[in-house]
Amino acid sequence: MVPAKDPRWQHVQDISDVDDQTKAEIAHFFERYKDLEPNKWVKAEGWGDAAEAEAIVQAGQAAYVPAGH
């Protein structure tokens, strides 16, 4: 997700707009943030484009069932 009002990210419309160093930093964060939790891990396997992200969000919204239903 891109911070909509942050001028440093206004140029980003798709993953191709993000430089390799920034993508490496993001991947490193997600691969390390579970390190202190036993038996939990994350593996960054690549990057999808804006269309793939939209499809994932829509699938999640379609699958959402409020508690108690």
Q: What confidence tens digit (pLDDT) does each residue in 55-69 have?
A: 999 999 999 988 877
Residue 1 or 41, more confident: 41
Domain limits for position 56: 19-63
- The pLDDT value recorded for residue 4 is 77
Q: Is residue 30 part of a domain?
A: yes
Instruction: Tell me the CA distances in angstroms from 25 to 22, 30, 32, 58, 68, one per residue in order.
Output: 5, 9, 11, 27, 39
pTM of the full structure: 0.71
Whole-angstrom distance, CA of residue 60 vs CA of residue 62 = 5
Mean pLDDT calculated for residue range 31-49: 92
Whole-angstrom distance, CA of residue 64 vs CA of residue 11 = 31
**Number of domains forming the structure of the chain:** 1
Please, what sign has the CA dihedral across residues 25, 6, 61, 49?
A: negative
Q: Is residue 41 part of a domain?
A: yes
Residue 15 phi, psi (nearest 5): -60, -25
Q: Would you say residue 39 has pLDDT above 80?
A: yes
